[in-house]
Amino acid sequence: MIRIPYVRIRRPHRLAAEASAVLIALVVAFPLYWMVLSAFKPAGEVQSLHPKPWTLHPSLDSFRRVFWQEDFGRYFLNSLLVAGAVVVLSALAAFLAATAVTRFRFRFRTTVLIMFLVAQMVPVEALTIPLFFLMRDLGDAVPGVGLNTLGSLILVHLAFSLPFAVWMLRGFVRAVPESLEEAAMIDGASRARFLWQVLFPLVLPGLAATSIFSFISTWNDFLFAKSFIISATENSTLPMALLVFFKPDQNDWGGIMAGSTVMTLPVLVFFVLVQRRLVSGLAGAVKG
Amino acid sequence: MNRSHRPSRRALPVLLLAAGLAAATACAPSTSSNQGSSSDAKSGTLRVWLFQEVNNAPKQKVVAQAVSEFTKAHSGTKVDVTYIPIATRAEKMKAAFNDPKSAPDVVEFGNTDTAGYVADGGLADISAEFAAWADAKNVTDSVKSSVSVGGKVYGVPWYVGVRALYYRTDVFKSLDLKPPTTQAELITTARKIHAENSQLYGVASGAMNVFGMLPFVWANGGDLATEKSGKYTAAIDSAASRKGVAAYTSLIAKTNCPPAQCAAMGGDAGIQAFASGKSAMAIGGDYSHAAVEAGAVKGKYAVVPLPGLTPGSIAPAFAGGNNLGVMKSTSHRTLAADFTELLGGAAYQQKMFDAMGNMPALSDVQSAVASKTAWEAPFVKTLQSGTKFVPVTPAWSAIDSQAVIPTMMQEIVTGKKSVDQATADAAKKMDAAFASAG
Amino acid sequence: MARDLDVRSDVSSLPRPVPRPRKPVKGNRTGAGRWTPWLYLAPALILLGGLLVYPIYQLGLISFLRYTQAQVSGGQPTAFVGLDNYDALFKDPQFWQVLLTTLLFAGACVVCTLAVGSALAVLLTKVRALPRLLLMFAALGAWATPAVTGSTVWVFLFDSDYGPVDKTLVWLGLTGFQDYSWTYGRYSAFALVLMEIVWCSFPFVMVTLYAGIRAIPAEVLEAAALDGASAWRTWRSVMAPMLRPILLVVTIQSVIWDFKVFGQIYVMTSGGGIAGQNLVLNVYAYQKAFASSEYGLGSAIGVVMLLILLTVTLGYLRLLRRQGEEL
């Protein structure tokens, strides 16, 4: 068991600290509360001159408009599929890459690391046209990853979440001591066995951390879903369901809030699932 | 460090650089070609893209009717309708142009996008089909200009939207005011209301409400730009235009709608202000009717056309709207044109109005609507008294996205520039855009 | 001895030296081949090579061309224009002003996010389970909200006509805020956007640093407490040095993200503020280039952004290298 550092602290200080933590939590959560509240407000109250932090006539109308959209369930499942695939695949690829740059020394090691960083520095809008044509040509060669497919979304989000994942995982892989690897080798374990049966489980908590990033950025993406899924709208993802409510000069604010609430919930669920791993595991990123 | 590695260390990057430069000059970025299909199949599946409304069910019903009528009349054809969110239209249309395999045959598009799409080479020239269309005679010239580029027709007008003046009957009654009949009266009435009640804007005039401002310019005889043999020159800095701009921006002041609140207000925010009771008047469209009805002012408002300079005149309104067009890459040209004419015909324009409240684009249907639906009357009156449009050039989308006009108005109302200076700068930016669009 | 693969006890029972930069041993003791690292890197490199390196190269290429939607969909031919796009960009006085603004704003965002995140991370260590869980959950909600929604809600909360913030401030006695428009003034608008960005970015910093702090040995912190060090002193002289690797990743990521900020500014300042006073580089690029499909100019701006970020990041890394931090 990892020893949890116990910082001795005087009681009145702790009470003050806890009070401020709760207060800050309330302040941080307030905009979220407002979003959910607006989703339940009837149409006239969403933008009124006397905004109240409550509503006496909660209505499910906005949610109805969200869920009754054609193919809403389909979009939800598509988003889940894409985000899930990205989380799993980026975990694997990033783990291997992080192992390579941390436990081996080779020429261009620093260059590769910097290259991973550079990949994130370009504004994404600038890349949409080249990526569009890349996907189109790729789709001609490999069925299943061209335009109008979920595969194209998975590929592009993989590419964008890898750099950060590799940099984060470096710390975790470094934390595992060399002596462990030597010991496993002496025991006759193959390199592959060490990699997957020893190193991978140790780094799993770190992967929990990076998986949250990958999940959030894939789940909330509008741009690539808009650009790559053109005619096969059955392959659209959840943000499309939200975009319907943005109409120039006639935004449906209740619908926007309801749609956003529906979009935010799964991320919170995902976090609850991985959070225990997350906090205990992030400790590894500091060691070494 | 191994010394023998050094020379190769330096050589490698240089080699890579040289190879990179060579590759760079040799390669070209991808393009697609919208040459237009040579085939014109008389059967098969017709792909149609329409905009998805928030409350889409009524629209879907009407379109389904059109589809069944069409498939009955053309055996062996199916119609596949896809609804796309308006906020994605830019990306979807670009994608359709870039990948003709994914493109539809018939498409709904906003009329301010016409010139851009034509320049992109995506829309088919249907002048011939349009000329032979029975309902074409009911398309007024100003509406026709929103589907035409360079004298050729690229679409069928489906529905239009115009703006008029919403006002609070109860406020007017309590202050013993009458709805304004001239532009000058509008300004004085607004100021009077705000003076009486500082919590109420006289008229919700936002500096980002371009289409609310333009009638002021047009009523004074000015315009955004003038056209000569296909080339546009900015005219926002002409004396007449400046009068209009000055009149509108005088409303964004502490005497009516303070800049702090109104400098970033657009058309939507203005109507929201009216609907929630924050403003006594607002310049809004026929499409805003539902939002106002849902607000706190239900039953306490009425609508009149936006007045012009002289009593009883109507300031020319901007004729926004949506069109139906045929894609150049289509391989079902005749079928696409037929479906477009069916859905855009008088019968379905009336049905779309009944279902969605969309103002028809054909003048005979408009008159029928005005006589049957009271609240539409001032909008139809505005429409039929003459509407105007924005410059029909792909440069308009650049001018729009660079927010040239809103920036101009914001500079004036914040005191950064005088009317003359701001309009002159805006004209320069517009001319630059017109020049680069060719 | 080797059979015991219960790593956690292994790790914590190892004598912990004062942290010093640890170099991986040259080659490796496990006898892996020269190509092993490249094998492991292969999936990531192939993906990145194809999906990022190639498009970035295309980006550079396009920046030397006249390449708009008309060219892309075949309406007009592509034309090589050399440095014209860069020329147009650098000659525009607005570009330089926006660039300076972006650097300052991004810098302020990074500093504030790190400060808030670190402070709250330390706070989390001083409270018991329930308050900690509450704060973490709230933070995660802020993190998970789509950027467009978060911005919309924030700008609505601070609306001068409809928002509750102004009304609350007036109720508290600060009558100067009656009908105060946060988005009208240049600096108040930036302050508003900064608050929203800190709100949705601090969770990442807080959670990461919290776990890092928890890994610091108790003896070190207790020793500092016994010596009478204040919270700030403890942070500065004891915790921060030990958290350097984490702080490195977190800072670089924040710099990159905050420099490229788009959605928050676009939504909250209605596309760049009154008369463009709140423009940042990415919004400027959108306005001038991407919205009207001028990809040539947009690519030029993209290249410039990339070079600036690269310079800043490399400079930061070099600084850290000199301080002994191993890359």
Q: Which chain C positions have a beta carbon within 8 Å of A262's beta carbon?
A: none
- Are A147 and A127 in a shared domain? yes
pLDDT class of B189 with cuts at 50, 70, 90: very high
**SS3 call for A109:** helix
Query: Given phi > 0 = left and psi -120 to 50 = alpha, else beta, which region is C6?
Result: beta
* Residue-number span of the structural domain to which B270 is assigned: 163-317+394-437
* Residue-number span of the structural domain to which A23 is assigned: 11-59
Q: Look up the ipTM and state it.
A: 0.82
Q: Domain for residue A64, yes or no?
A: no
- d(CA B99, nearest CA chain A) in Å: 8
pLDDT class of B17 with cuts at 50, 70, 90: low
Each residue of B369-420: pLDDT tens digit? 888 888 999 999 998 898 999 998 889 988 998 899 999 999 999 999 999 9
Q: What chains are in contact with A, requiring at least 3 Cβ pairs below 8 Å? A: B, C
Question: Of the given ranges (B378-387, C238-247, C255-264, C282-291), which has the lowest mean pLDDT?
Answer: C238-247
- Are B139 and B182 in a shared domain? no
Residue C24 pLDDT more than 60? Answer: no
Predicted local confidence at residue B20, as pLDDT: 58
Count of CB contacts below 8 A, A vs B? 95
Chain B CB within 8 Å of residue A251 CB: yes
- Are A246 and A143 in a shared domain? yes
pLDDT class of A152 with cuts at 50, 70, 90: very high
pLDDT class of B226 with cuts at 50, 70, 90: very high
Q: Domain for residue A244, yes or no?
A: yes
Q: Are B418 and B242 in contact (CB under 8 A)?
A: no
- Are A51 and A89 in a shared domain? no
Q: Domain for residue C245, yes or no?
A: yes
Q: Which chain C positions have a beta carbon within 8 Å of A167's beta carbon?
A: 249, 252-253
Q: Domain for residue A5, yes or no?
A: no
Predicted local confidence at residue B241, as pLDDT: 96
- Are B369 and B234 in a shared domain? no
Contact C36 A96 (CB under 8 A): no
Predicted local confidence at residue A286, as pLDDT: 41
- Are A139 and A47 in a shared domain? no
Mutation target for A interface from B54, B60, B111, B163: give the one with most A CBs within 10 A. B54
Alpha-helical (H) ranges within B4-152 are 5-26, 57-73, 89-98, 114-120, 127-131, 141-145
- Are B325 and B192 in a shared domain? no
pLDDT class of A53 with cuts at 50, 70, 90: confident
Predicted local confidence at residue B327, as pLDDT: 93
Looking up tokens 């409809």, which residue turns up?
C162
Which residues, other chains included, contact C316 with Cβ-Cβ below 8 Å and sequence gap of 6+?
C251, C252, C255
**What's the alpha-carbon Rg for chain C, to the nearest Å?**
25
Number of structural domains found in chain C: 1
- d(CA C282, nearest CA chain B) in Å: 13
Each residue of C41-96: pLDDT tens digit? 888 988 888 888 888 888 889 999 888 888 887 777 888 888 989 999 999 999 99
Residue B279 DSSP label? E
Rounded distance between C-alpha atoms, residue A112 and residue A95, angstroms: 15
Number of structural domains found in chain A: 2
String of DSSP letters for A214-227: HHHHHHT--HHHHH
Residue C318 pLDDT more than 60? Answer: yes
Q: Which residue has the higher pLDDT, B219 or B19?
A: B219
Q: Which chain B positions have a beta carbon within 8 Å of A47's beta carbon?
A: 272, 276
Q: Which residue has the higher pLDDT, C30 or C173?
A: C173
- Are B176 and B234 in a shared domain? yes
Contact C73 B97 (CB under 8 A): yes
- Are B102 and B137 in a shared domain? yes
Tokens of B258: 């303070």
Mutation target for B interface from A228, A244, A246: give the one with most B CBs within 10 A. A244
**What's the alpha-carbon Rg for chain A, to the nearest Å?**
23
Question: In sequence order, what are the beta bridge partners of B167?
Answer: B281, B302
Q: Which residue has the higher pLDDT, B119 or B256?
A: B256
In A88-107, the residues whose Cβ lies within 8 Å of chain C are: 92-94, 96-97, 99-106
Residue A65 pLDDT more than 90? Answer: no
- Are A201 and A139 in a shared domain? yes
Q: Domain for residue C268, yes or no?
A: yes
- What does pLDDT average to over chain B? 89
How much is the average pLDDT of C154-177?
87
Q: What H or E segment, with its residue span, contains residue B157?
A: strand B156-161
Rounded distance between C-alpha atoms, residue A128 and residue A221, angstroms: 13
Looking up tokens 């504004």, which residue turns up?
A123
Question: Of the given ranges (A242-246, B286-290, C154-158, C279-283), which has the lowest mean pLDDT?
Answer: A242-246
* Residue-number span of the structural domain to which C222 is assigned: 98-288
Tokens of B105: 């045959």
Count of CB contacts below 8 A, B vs C? 105
Contact B94 C74 (CB under 8 A): no
Predicted local confidence at residue B225, as pLDDT: 94
Chain C CB within 8 Å of residue A55 CB: no
- Are A39 and A126 in a shared domain? no
CATH number for position B121:
3.40.190.10
Rounded distance between C-alpha atoms, residue B169 and residue B297, angstroms: 10
Q: What chains are in contact with B, requiring at least 3 Cβ pairs below 8 Å? A: A, C
- Are B167 and B293 in a shared domain? yes
Q: Which CA distances in Å does B227 have to B218, C242, C318?
A: 15, 69, 58
Q: Domain for residue B373, yes or no?
A: yes
Q: Which residue has the higher pLDDT, B8 or C191?
A: C191
Q: What chains are in contact with C, requiring at least 3 Cβ pairs below 8 Å? A: A, B
- Are B252 and B399 in a shared domain? yes
How much is the average pLDDT of B139-159?
90
- Are B361 and B223 in a shared domain? no
- Are A150 and A32 in a shared domain? no
Upper half-sphere CA count for residue B274 (Cβ side, 13 Å): 35
- Are A46 and A164 in a shared domain? no
Predicted local confidence at residue C325, as pLDDT: 62
Q: Domain for residue B3, yes or no?
A: no
CATH number for position A171:
1.10.3720.10
Q: Which residue has the higher pLDDT, B438 or B116?
A: B116
Q: Which residue has the higher pLDDT, A124 or C188?
A: C188
pLDDT class of B11 with cuts at 50, 70, 90: low
